[in-house]
Amino acid sequence: MKTVLHRADTRGHADHGWLNSYHSFSFANYHNAERMNFGALRVLNDDTVAAGRGFGTHPHNNMEIISIPLEGDLQHMDDMGNSTVIREGDVQVMSAGTGVSHSEFNKNQDEQVKFLQIWVFPNKKNVTPRYDQISIKNIESKNSLYQILSPDPEDQGVWIHQDAWFHLGNFEQGKSDTYSLKKEGNGVYIFVLEGELKINDQHLNKRDGFGIWDTDSFTINALTAAKVLVMEIPMEL
């Protein structure tokens, strides 16, 4: 097993007033040659958007973009004709493909929005742009990992153009679960949303990131009540 540890306080940070963002990997003005990506995982931004503010219309292409709201209501609009609101308990995905322009705004004037912005390199270029969002309220489970993303449109959760599987876990103190990798050659990046946990012998705290590869499985042990995002992705692009 090989591992890489990214403590929460080593992430890149940008405070624009309306946007407070922490970058697990190089992004915008934060550049770290040793933290450009983890396999096909290119961006993991931990964003807080002030009341009534947001990202103006901007373009993307040939990237799989996943948004996971943690708090508040985020208004989405794009040039595919979508106008939606994503909330805690939702997962949003866009396949940018040949090109898409979109904007995200905090829908509320009296509270902030917190969400994860995740970019994954696709395994197919120049696909037709697409958008989807789901509520995970009817698939979430307690004390075990549950799937929210895969490469299969017929599988549980949203899907992307990549051999990637994302799971969320909401654990009570003392509970554990074992994750077995879906595809040979993949690795897993674990991001702690809340609490403390242990991956094999590695102690992790809130907002720590931990990459694992060259293994078939690993065990998550919750040292406190804990929430975690587990992202399995190809290590080779």
Distance from C-alpha of 112 to C-alpha of 71, rounded to nearest angstrom: 8
Q: What is the pLDDT of residues 87-113, one digit of tens each?
A: 999 999 999 999 999 999 999 999 999
Q: What is the pLDDT of residues 168-225, one digit of tens each?
A: 999 999 999 999 999 999 999 999 999 999 998 999 999 999 999 999 999 999 999 9
pTM greater than 0.95: yes
Q: What is the pLDDT of residues 194-207, one digit of tens each?
A: 999 999 899 999 99
Position 237 scores a pLDDT of 84
Q: Where do the domains of the chain lie, and which CATH numbers do they carry?
A: 12-135 (2.60.120.10), 146-234 (2.60.120.10)
Distance from C-alpha of 217 to C-alpha of 178, rounded to nearest angstrom: 7
Q: What is the pLDDT of residues 51-65, one digit of tens each?
A: 999 998 999 999 999
Q: How confident is the model at residue 235 (pLDDT cuts 50, 70, 90)?
A: very high
Q: How confident is the model at residue 227 (pLDDT cuts 50, 70, 90)?
A: very high
- Read off the amino acid at residue 195: G
Distance from C-alpha of 127 to C-alpha of 64, rounded to nearest angstrom: 11
Q: How far is CA 24 from CA 42, 61, 127, 230, in A?
A: 9, 21, 27, 14
Pair of tokens at residue 5: 């540890």
Beta-carbon contacts of 55 under 8 Å, excluding residues fewer than 6 positions away, are: 19, 49, 103, 104, 105
Q: What is the pLDDT of residues 73-83, one digit of tens each?
A: 999 999 999 99
Position 191 scores a pLDDT of 98
Q: What is the pLDDT of residues 107-147, one digit of tens each?
A: 999 999 999 999 999 999 999 999 999 999 889 999 999 99
Burial of residue 127 (CB within 10 Å: 0-12, 13-18, 19+) is: middle
